[in-house]
A and B are shown apart, each in its own frame.
Chain A
Amino acid sequence: MAFDILEPGLATSVQDRGRFGYYNVGIPQGGAMDQLSASMANALVGNSPGDAVLECAYLGPRFTTDTDAVIAVAGAPVQVKVNGQTADQWTRLSLAAGDEVSFGMLSGGTRYYVAVQGGIDVPEVLGSRSTYTLGALGGFQGRTLKAGDTVPVGAPSGASPLDTIPEDLRPVYAKEVTVRILPGLYDHRLTAEGMETLVSTAWKLTPVADRTGLRYSGPDLEWRPRTQPFGAGSDPSNIVDAGYAIGSIQVPGGKEPIVLHRDAVSGGGYAMVATVISADMDVVARSAPGTLTHFEPVTMEQALAARADAAKVRRAVWGTAG
């Protein structure tokens, strides 16, 4: 059982929950950028939350299925078509052999997910099916899809799928969002005004945004002047190259904060001043260029409470198994 890719879309890749335990050698966690949407797509076809899906960015693929298949599309609002007829998101779609699936324009967000009953069945590499394109590792031959690819689909598990995701649990795709951050790492290297600017500005997401990181435009942030330590480099935004927390915000030269995301480089020489809390990484992933973003500082306790709230949403979808 397989999907035959007629057109690949802009950057369609195979993703699952991600690859953990290899960040120490520079291999990022990867995985679906918007984990909740990917997991909801899986729930709708009776997969387990960690099954691999297709992640579609902006312009989706066009593909046919070689046998009957059950799919679901969740995530950013997009026009879904089966044999040219409009079909619904957030529900189960039954395909017959030879049916063609394609996508129209997005009306918000950036990424949507196609789950298929049985999951995308590429081999696991280092414990995950996620695509790490820079390292040409995992996913479909270590890369995004191309026309002519035959993407294997696994055998259904037989678990019963959800009929739909209740509207109040579905993610929203707003033009203005609040992203909670935990200040720390090298925040002491900013002036008080610099930190105030970070948390009081409505930052605009630039088009420089991919799985590695997202860059925001706004005013410059002021670093404290200092004599740089040996090995750090000359700019006050430089540090002795260190590990990068995923979700951390770096501000090279005090201009244009960058939020590192699932395919983050694992280390480098720019000071990080805060980190997006785990509960809000999906919110960042859903942001389209132009989205106005407020970085709201929270405490560790608040971050952990938000994490527990996010887990409740997952449990509401998956029951206790999620």
Chain B
Amino acid sequence: MSHAPQHLDAARYTWGGDEFLFVEISESMSLAANFKANAMATRLTARAIDGVVDICPANASLLLRFDPDAVPPDELEALVRQVEEEVAQLSEQTLETRIIEIPVWYDDPYTRETGARFRKGHQRPDGTDLDFAAEENGLSSPQEFIRKHHESPWLVSMVGFVAGLPFMFQIVPQEEQLEVPKYLSPRTDTPPLTVGHGGCFACIYSVRGAGGYQMFGIAAAPIFDPAQKLEDFSDFMIFFRPGDIVKFKPVGEDEYRAIQAEVDAGTFTYRQVPVTFDLQKALTDPTAHNRDILEKLNGL
């Protein structure tokens, strides 16, 4: 009843040219690796190191962009190693975050149509991505896959690829995680707000464009709002932050259209509530931890 592996060796440090330092925390994905990446990013941000331009936490790694004229590479590496040490000493590993409900129209006509257009060369040319995902996970039907997809929460483990796209990691024991291969060859088109899945990661495509993840549904409300029209975007045009917890909520066509009308009217807001994510509890008793955080959302 645990995620494996949880023991983290020291990170691997390497350079991306003369402007990027890359820190690989773990080769494999785990909650612990993600937690460490985000904890290091938070501390490095707080230090406000001169010459550090971007701090990008990812699933199990960390990327820093720096100006080597302002901070010499070896000096930066020493500072980051110091922060890695500090994070390793943390006895309490909790994250003050929020849980957000994301309405999704599963098995919708938009991703179905796009999936049909890119069937040639797909692992399962005669079905849908949902059929394929259900089979790959040994489930009896697409409906069962959809149920497993929305019944447990996901942690936003990385934001990026394109503007505001969240990568999400299912907070359940590894043997229960949904895993699906990516498209054999990436699509050139993906409807905006497609809920996708590749490897162990779920994502929501923030904008229309290329994509290689299998497509299961479409989210009803925007997650990237460059015009910042909706209240949830009043601070910033991008909704998700690493460490956010997502609970997908299945909606049918009527509810999907109703939400879209609220978005158009500028009145839509996401249901969300602050929660504390406790790494040790999530690892040792994920069922209880998920129940606790979901109760917070349901108690709204």
Instruction: Give A contacts to B, CB under 8 Å.
Output: 20-27, 125, 132, 134-137, 142, 181-182, 184-185, 229-234, 238-248, 265-269, 272, 275-278, 300, 303-304, 307, 311
Please, could you name 22 A-B residue pairs with CB atoms under 8 Å apart, sorted by A? Answer: A24-B55, A24-B159, A25-B160, A25-B238, A26-B160, A26-B162, A135-B207, A229-B29, A233-B181, A241-B158, A245-B63, A245-B65, A247-B19, A265-B162, A267-B160, A267-B167, A269-B182, A277-B18, A278-B18, A278-B19, A300-B15, A307-B18
In the assembled complex, the Cα of A231 lies from the Cα of B167 at a distance in Å of: 12
**Size category, B interface:** 35 or more
The answer to the question of B24 belonging to the interface, with a C-beta cut-off of 8 Å to chain A, is yes
Given contacts A24-B160, A137-B163, A307-B68, contact A243 B63 (CB under 8 A): yes
Query: B169: shortest Cβ distance to chain A, in Å?
Result: 8
Whether the pair A20, B53 counts as a contact (CB closer than 8 A) is yes
Whether the pair A266, B17 counts as a contact (CB closer than 8 A) is no
Whether the pair B161, A26 counts as a contact (CB closer than 8 A) is yes
**Of B53, B59, B174, which one neighbours A242 at CB under 8 angstroms?**
B59
Given contacts A26-B165, A137-B226, A269-B199, contact A243 B160 (CB under 8 A): yes
Given contacts A182-B17, A233-B199, contact A267 B163 (CB under 8 A): no
Interface positions of B from 59 to 84, Cβ below 8 Å from A: 59-63, 65, 68-69, 73
Query: B156: shortest Cβ distance to chain A, in Å?
Result: 11
Whether the pair B159, A26 counts as a contact (CB closer than 8 A) is yes
Whether the pair B163, A230 counts as a contact (CB closer than 8 A) is no
**Of B18, B55, B167, which one neighbours A304 at CB under 8 angstroms?**
B18
Query: A306: shortest Cβ distance to chain B, in Å?
Result: 8
Residues in A whose Cβ lies below 8 Å from that of B16: 182, 184-185, 245, 247-248, 272, 275
In the assembled complex, the Cα of A134 lies from the Cα of B200 at a distance in Å of: 25
The answer to the question of B201 belonging to the interface, with a C-beta cut-off of 8 Å to chain A, is yes
Given contacts A135-B226, A231-B200, A266-B160, contact A23 B54 (CB under 8 A): yes
Which of B18, B61, B68, B69 has the most chain A CB atoms inside 10 A of its CB?
B18
In the assembled complex, the Cα of A117 lies from the Cα of B20 at a distance in Å of: 34
Whether the pair A26, B29 counts as a contact (CB closer than 8 A) is no
Which of A26, A185, A232, A303 has the most chain B CB atoms inside 10 A of its CB?
A26
Query: A298: shortest Cβ distance to chain B, in Å?
Result: 9
**Of A26, A134, A247, which one neighbours B17 at CB under 8 angstroms?**
A247
Whether the pair B56, A243 counts as a contact (CB closer than 8 A) is yes
Residues in A whose Cβ lies below 8 Å from that of B57: 24
Given contacts A243-B61, A243-B63, contact A136 B18 (CB under 8 A): no
In the assembled complex, the Cα of A268 lies from the Cα of B10 at a distance in Å of: 23
Whether the pair B14, A231 counts as a contact (CB closer than 8 A) is no
Whether the pair B226, A136 counts as a contact (CB closer than 8 A) is yes
Given contacts A134-B209, A267-B158, contact A303 B27 (CB under 8 A): no
Given contacts A242-B61, A275-B16, contact A135 B163 (CB under 8 A): yes
Which residue on chain A has the smallest CB distance to residue B165?
A26
The answer to the question of B164 belonging to the interface, with a C-beta cut-off of 8 Å to chain A, is yes
Name the 6 nearest CB pairs between A and B, nearest first: A245-B16, A231-B29, A243-B63, A229-B28, A275-B17, A245-B20
